[in-house]
Structure 1
Amino acid sequence: MTFQDGGSFEGGRVRTRRGGRGVAIGGGLGGLIVLIGALFFNVDLSPIADGLGGDTGGEQTEEYVAECSAEQANAARDCRLSATARALDTYWSDALAPLGVAYTQPGVVSFEQATDTACGSATSATGPFYCPPDQTVYVDLGFFDDLRTRFGASGGPLAEEYVIAHEFGHHIEQLTGLLTAADRSGTGPTSDSVRIELTADCFAGMWTGHAATTVDPATGVPFLAPITAAELADALSAASAVGDDRIQESATGTVDPESWTHGSSEQRQRWFSAGYDGASVQECNALEAATL
């Protein structure tokens, strides 16, 4: 998905952390377990992380992503993250207003190696996640390479933006009370854990479907150019790549629906598509869906 040429996006929205503070989680099976367990899910990471590693040492620095042009947002991941956050802020502020829900911006942190959060210490192995206690989205931008090389997604800018939109979807669930209403302790194909993830996928689809008509208040023109069929295919490929069944089969050679926490590849694509095709906030609420 292409940001409209000629515009620019104010800095100060995304924090970038670099350095080694936090908990080190080794590679191999331990890292894979954490990745599968935390990927795209608002979990407390500290019990897992504390059992798998120690302090990485070193100092961590933090700075904000500076102002970026549209051309930079189309070429560089840190600028794309910042611009995507701005576009999501504008869309959800307008979309929630008719429901009487005040939109508050979630924090957005791009980190390298490891970072501390209100949900515990995290590393790159955890994948992108939303932490409800500090209402912040965390992402190591290197994950987008893993999404393509390890999980088999086709890649592309819209695939990356789908990931961020999904995590913002959890923030919308927080603001609307869905996270509080859900029992996220269970697993299985009809569990609330799966329903919360499919709702976030649907919310991501809602934003994607409106991104090319959501006007940047700073420029008076839409944030993004119309989505092409190839770009939409990239987003659907990313949704499929992180389905429980696909990850399980790749990791273990078997599929166990009773341990699902995110939904199948087919479900994730379908709920994203529902949002993209015009579903409302209420229609995206998978907690109340008779079938998934």
Structure 2
Amino acid sequence: MDFKDDVQLDSSQVESRGRGRVPGGGLAIGGGAAGIIALILALVFGINPGDITGGSEPAPVGPGADLSAQCKTGRDADQNEECRVVGVVNSIQEYWPKAVDGYEPAKTVMFSGQVSTACGAADASVGPFYCPADRQVYLDLSFFKELQSRFGAKGGPFAQAYVIGHEYGHHVQHLLGTDARGRGDRQGPKSGSVRLELQADCYSGAWAKNAYETGLFEKPFSRTDIEEALSAASAVGDDSIQERTQGRITPEGFTHGTSAQRVKWFTTGYQSGDPGRCDTFSGGI
């Protein structure tokens, strides 16, 4: 995944916050992959994670990196992880207004430690999530190390791009009102939750197919790039996570879809390049 060296980045679409601190030791969030994914799901649907974790509201985080100073061009995006996030977000938000009438931009907030959101307090172990209440994507870069070390993904720059594209897929669902179809139906192999997550994977694939046309990248994504995305999608399938954390697969507890389903729907979006092909609510998934 190579950005054009001289393309200009819009750092205003991404905010970098420093490390938040919580008096008395911070949020009481349990470790493990299952907890991470459960919290991601909770935040996607606007549940206060404090209701789940029993944690307190963190103190406001301090200022982080000055992205406007360090993330100016595509060359910076190729050399700096935070600038790469800026470049990916710029591309995603260049694509969606052409695909969805009335698209409204959403800011990405990179944080470390803890962060306050309109959906409640979040800890770093939550990983990436979208908060519909403030229409922002939240991203802790340490999650991508977890993706490799705990979930067995290959990692790489495009694994990050896939995850960011997925979270912006939830933003699109919120703008279209599709996210309402998952409320009250949050578990099970054919649940509204699973269908929403698979659709967000498909939306990420649709962006990936069209990303070169947004003008930020040197060339279309390579087979290696797409394999990184597929590896990440497979690693966070419900069946894979359950097998790693509890040693057995219980479909009635599914919230995001199986590894095979996540790969299938990202591939559907990527091969078609058409978000209209991402209807996971009609028929089988």
User: What TM-score do you get using the length of structure 1 for normalisation?
Assistant: 0.88
| Aligned counterpart in structure 1 of residue 44 of structure 2, from 30, 42, 52 | 42
User: What is the aligned partner in structure 2 of residue 282 from structure 1?
Assistant: 276
Check conservation: 1:25, 1:125, Cα contact below 8 A: no
User: What is the aligned partner in structure 2 of residue 168 from structure 1?
Assistant: 168
| Aligned counterpart in structure 2 of residue 245 of structure 1, from 239, 245, 248 | 239
Q: Secondary structure at the match of 2:11?
A: coil
CA distance in 2, matches of 1:184, 1:162: 27
Kindly state the Cα deviation for residue 281 of structure 1 after the two structures are TM-superposed: 2.5
Residues 204, 178 of structure 1: alpha-carbon distance in 2 compared, 3 angstrom cutoff = same
| Aligned counterpart in structure 2 of residue 79 of structure 1, from 75, 80, 83 | 83
Does 258-267 or 227-236 show the bigger shift?
227-236
1:126-154 C-alpha deviation (Å, 9 max, x unpaired): 11000001000001011111111111100
Check conservation: 2:7, 2:73, Cα contact below 8 A: yes
CA distance in 2, matches of 1:83, 1:58: 26
Identity %: 37
Q: Secondary structure at the match of 1:16?
A: strand
CA distance in 1, matches of 2:136, 2:163: 14
| Aligned counterpart in structure 1 of residue 63 of structure 2, from 61, 64, 74 | 61
CA distance in 2, matches of 1:205, 1:171: 15
Letter aligned with residue 40 of structure 2: L
| Aligned counterpart in structure 2 of residue 95 of structure 1, from 79, 99, 105 | 99
Q: Secondary structure at the match of 2:225?
A: helix
Kindly state the Cα deviation for residue 58 of structure 1 after the two structures are TM-superposed: 7.7
Residues 127, 283 of structure 1: alpha-carbon distance in 2 compared, 3 angstrom cutoff = same
CA distance in 1, matches of 2:141, 2:225: 19
Kindly state the Cα deviation for residue 8 of structure 1 after the two structures are TM-superposed: 2.6
Does 226-235 or 16-25 show the bigger shift?
16-25
RMSD: 2.1
Kindly state the Cα deviation for residue 12 of structure 1 after the two structures are TM-superposed: 1.7
Residues 247, 33 of structure 1: alpha-carbon distance in 2 compared, 3 angstrom cutoff = closer
Residues 9, 31 of structure 1: alpha-carbon distance in 2 compared, 3 angstrom cutoff = same
1:151-162 paired onto structure 2 within 5 Å: 151-162=151-162
User: What TM-score do you get using the length of structure 2 for normalisation?
Assistant: 0.90
1:151-230 paired onto structure 2 within 5 Å: 151-215=151-215, 222-230=216-224
Check conservation: 1:13, 1:108, Cα contact below 8 A: yes
Kindly state the Cα deviation for residue 225 of structure 1 after the two structures are TM-superposed: 1.8
- Which consecutive residues of structure 1, in runs of 5 or more, have no partner in the other structure? 216-221
- Which consecutive residues of structure 2, in runs of 5 or more, have no partner in the other structure? none
Kindly state the Cα deviation for residue 3 of structure 1 after the two structures are TM-superposed: 1.1
User: What is the aligned partner in structure 2 of residue 125 from structure 1?
Assistant: 125
Does 109-118 or 69-78 show the bigger shift?
69-78
Check conservation: 2:124, 2:140, Cα contact below 8 A: yes
Does 79-88 or 279-288 show the bigger shift?
279-288
Does 86-95 or 38-47 show the bigger shift?
38-47
1:23-38 paired onto structure 2 within 5 Å: 24-26=26-28, 29-30=30-31, 32-38=33-39
Check conservation: 1:21, 1:116, Cα contact below 8 A: no
Q: Secondary structure at the match of 1:60?
A: coil
Check conservation: 2:34, 2:242, Cα contact below 8 A: no
